[in-house]
Structure 1
Amino acid sequence: MPYSDEQLLGKLNGLDETQESIVGASKWVLSYYRDADKIANCWKDFVLKSSTNTRRKLLSIYLANDVIQQAKHKRIGQFSDSFGKIMPQVMGKVYPELPQDLGKKVKRVVDIWKQRQVFSDSVLKDVLVRLKSRKPVEKSDFGRVPELKPINEILQRLVGCQAGISSTRTRFDSSVNAMDPSSVVYMENYKTVVKIGQAAKDALSKAIEQREMAIQEFKKLQDFQSEQLAQDLDMIQEIDSVLASKDPTSQTPADVGETLALPTYEASDSDDDSDSDHGGTKRSRDEEGDPEDSKKIKTVALGLEESEETEVEPSPAEVAANASVTVTSSIQDLLSKLAN
């Protein structure tokens, strides 16, 4: 069967942390030594692809390591040459993206290459320079946030499920393609394919369960964040309200308007009686006028009959008239006495 990039990608996606998985894929790659350049370039594109997660990139580097070392042991020089052309570029881009724990594992692989001289001196020197010039990123705090810890655990399980799905699906597709209806063992082959298909379905069922759990956790996280958002908005309003109440530019002076206030109206006791009995109106008191004008005067409202006699202070004209009447009356009395 001729080599194809699709087959290699299936192998890369189906890798797991076991030695058996790495060695099995390595044997398959070594069988296509005539296509070493194609394999190296397809491997490079897969590792550098942004959608490939860091764990999958590390496993791909493990595979390349096994292929290169096995090829050197078996004196197949094509792989050392083909991977040597692209390895400095790949390490220069992948290594800085890895968390520190994964970066240490990659650094250990490079140290083994240096010890066993799996690449030429120039390639090894270039790879080491790339690693020294760019350090791996600090480990993410994603799993340390309490609200994100359950989601992080589910996503880690999903990564493991994905590897099983890719592996079993590749086996299933290969088994189906190999079936020959004319074969005498077709029924037995079909039973085997059914078992492989069931294994793939089981792996998918586990992934579905984990994804449903992830969706529930994301909903909880969304509700929690919505509550926190409402509280934050309320706190902003409270802060704005406090600041507005303390703003000196919006304060009203205590004495504003007092100088423009109308004079206060005060009534005497007799005014109160007059108001209740006769419906009279209270007079105002001028605080800054002549003291004589400030005297209280008893009066009766116009148009109403007087219910009791009121005393009115006489004006100067009335005093003069009364005095004239008194003098005239006294002269008449004197003349009357002389006549008698």
Structure 2
Amino acid sequence: MSFSQEQLTSKLNALDETQESIVSASKWLLSQYKEASQVAQCWRQFILKSSTNTRRKLLAIYLANDVIQQSKHKRVGEFGTAFGAIMPEVLGKVYPEFTQELQRKVKRVVDIWRERQVFSDSVFKELYPQLKQSKRPTEPRALPLDIAPEIKRLVEVFAKLTKCQSSTFAAKTRFDTSLEALDPNSVVYLENYKTVQKVGQAAKDSLDKSVSYRKQAIKELQIMLNFQEEQMKQDQSLISEIDQVLISKDPASATSDPLGETDLLPTYEASDGSDSDSDRSIGGEGEPPRKRQSLGTDSNELKRAKTETGTIDEVRTEEYETEAYEPTPAEVAANSSLAVTSSIQDLLSKLAN
């Protein structure tokens, strides 16, 4: 049977702590001794993936241990050479990730390798220093006490999902294996098919549980997303509010008077303080008040009028009366004749003199 990287990955995901599971996968790998280098590289990629949890990484090391020791016993040196070339690098990266208990198990495996000389001395010189670079605390860190409740729920869901994932891979692998062994020409084909059905149903149940956890995780993530979007809108609203307050309090904006508020201020006329100035209307009750002439336009004339008559009020009164009086045509004609008569009399008087 030719080597398949997907099949090796499937077997690594299906491993459990039993000796039977390790030995079964090891026998298959030993049959691939001609592809030992490719097997080792595939094993390396699997164990260094960030998505591979520490439990499955430890099981992969157990599998490599069995393959390396069995190959030495059977005088198949290809696996010792292939795994010896990558083992210092791999353990140097994964060993710090393990808890103290898992580190003790890994170190015990390495000590067995040294006792049985499965690798060369040069490999062990590179290998042991990697086991002294661990900076992992004795116990895994717990979540902070003040962590948000939605984060706690999400962590719990992902913990369940991770735990379920390993059993799901194992169930699917058992189904694939039993399906491959199913022989339609066998006299017990019907019994074997029923067994495959049971294995398939177990795999489906495990996958259904995984789907349920994933739906729950998506729901929790959507709640967190909606909450963060709402909080972002509130923050943006507060930013706009702060900007408006700063603009309204800006001294430069107040002196420049951008809204033209000075044009809205009322103008006042000069007054002597009497109520008659503010309430006076010309023409009697029922008539609209006549328009006043602005005192500010002819200030020089008012000054001269004040000098001649004595008070500004008198001048203002004369102005109002002059503006208010509108002579009829007959009066205009009479005034014109009187003016002519007066002029003639003045002329005769001057001739007489």
Structures share a fold, TM > 0.5?
yes
What residue is the counterpart of 2:269 in the other structure?
A: 265
Structure 2 CA distance for partners of 1:275 and 1:82, relative to 1, 3 Å: same
1:249 and 2:290 aligned: no
What residue is the counterpart of 2:334 in the other structure?
A: none
Give how far 1:269 is off: 4.7
Provide, for residues 205-238 of structure 1, a one-character-per-residue CA deviation record: whole Å limited to 9, x for no partner: 1111111211211221121111111111112112
What residue is the counterpart of 1:281 in the other structure?
A: 291
Q: Distance in 2 between matches of 1:171 and 1:212?
A: 25
Which sits farther off after the overlay, 271-280 or 35-44? 271-280
Provide, for residues 155-213 of structure 1, a one-character-per-residue CA deviation record: whole Å limited to 9, x for no partner: 22222222222212222122122122222111111111111111111111111111121
Taking structure 1 as the reference length, the TM-score comes to: 0.70
> 8 Å contact 2:67–2:79 — kept in the other structure?
yes
Give structure 2 stretches of 5+ with no counterpart.
Answer: 328-353
Provide, for residues 232-279 of structure 1, a one-character-per-residue CA deviation record: whole Å limited to 9, x for no partner: 11121122223223333323289x998xx9973145555543436273
1:1-340 to structure 2, matched below 5 A, reads 4-16=4-16, 19-20=17-18, 23-30=20-27, 32-33=29-30, 35=33, 36-49=36-49, 52-53=52-53, 56-65=56-65, 67-68=67-68, 79-95=79-95, 98=97, 102=98, 104=100, 107-116=103-112, 117=114, 119-130=119-130, 132=132, 144-252=147-255, 264-266=268-270, 269-271=275-277, 272-275=279-282, 277=284, 279-285=289-295, 290=303, 292=307, 295-297=312-314, 298-299=317-318, 300=321, 301-304=323-326
Q: Distance in 2 between matches of 1:141 and 1:215?
A: 21
The alignment-based identity, stated in percent, is 44
Structure 2 CA distance for partners of 1:227 and 1:276, relative to 1, 3 Å: farther
Structure 2 CA distance for partners of 1:276 and 1:213, relative to 1, 3 Å: farther
Provide, for residues 87-125 of structure 1, a one-character-per-residue CA deviation record: whole Å limited to 9, x for no partner: 1122344456x3xxx354553344324533264443233
Provide, for residues 115-155 of structure 1, a one-character-per-residue CA deviation record: whole Å limited to 9, x for no partner: 33264443233134345568569969699543222122212
> 8 Å contact 1:47–1:57 — kept in the other structure?
yes
> 8 Å contact 1:275–1:281 — kept in the other structure?
no
Give how far 1:5 is off: 3.5
> 8 Å contact 1:11–1:25 — kept in the other structure?
no
Q: Distance in 1 between matches of 2:45 and 2:267?
A: 94
Structure 2 CA distance for partners of 1:282 and 1:11, relative to 1, 3 Å: same
Q: Distance in 2 between matches of 1:57 and 1:147?
A: 30
Q: Distance in 2 between matches of 1:283 and 1:294?
A: 17
SS at match of 2:178: helix
> 8 Å contact 1:72–1:80 — kept in the other structure?
yes
Q: Distance in 2 between matches of 1:73 and 1:294?
A: 135
Residue identity opposite 1:115 in structure 2: D
> 8 Å contact 2:15–2:21 — kept in the other structure?
no
Q: Distance in 1 between matches of 2:68 and 2:101?
A: 17
> 8 Å contact 1:285–1:294 — kept in the other structure?
no
> 8 Å contact 1:142–1:149 — kept in the other structure?
no
Structure 2 CA distance for partners of 1:239 and 1:274, relative to 1, 3 Å: closer
SS at match of 1:265: coil
SS at match of 2:282: helix
Structure 2 CA distance for partners of 1:112 and 1:212, relative to 1, 3 Å: same
Computed over aligned residues only, the root mean square deviation of the Cα atoms, in angstroms, reads 4.2
Structure 2 CA distance for partners of 1:154 and 1:142, relative to 1, 3 Å: farther
Q: Distance in 2 between matches of 1:92 and 1:222?
A: 38
Provide, for residues 291-310 of structure 1, a one-character-per-residue CA deviation record: whole Å limited to 9, x for no partner: 647521223234447xxxxx
> 8 Å contact 1:95–1:135 — kept in the other structure?
no
> 8 Å contact 1:264–1:284 — kept in the other structure?
no
> 8 Å contact 1:158–1:210 — kept in the other structure?
yes
> 8 Å contact 2:172–2:203 — kept in the other structure?
yes
Q: Distance in 1 between matches of 2:212 and 2:267?
A: 85
Q: Distance in 2 between matches of 1:262 and 1:184?
A: 113
Give how far 1:12 is off: 0.8
Structure 2 CA distance for partners of 1:166 and 1:87, relative to 1, 3 Å: same
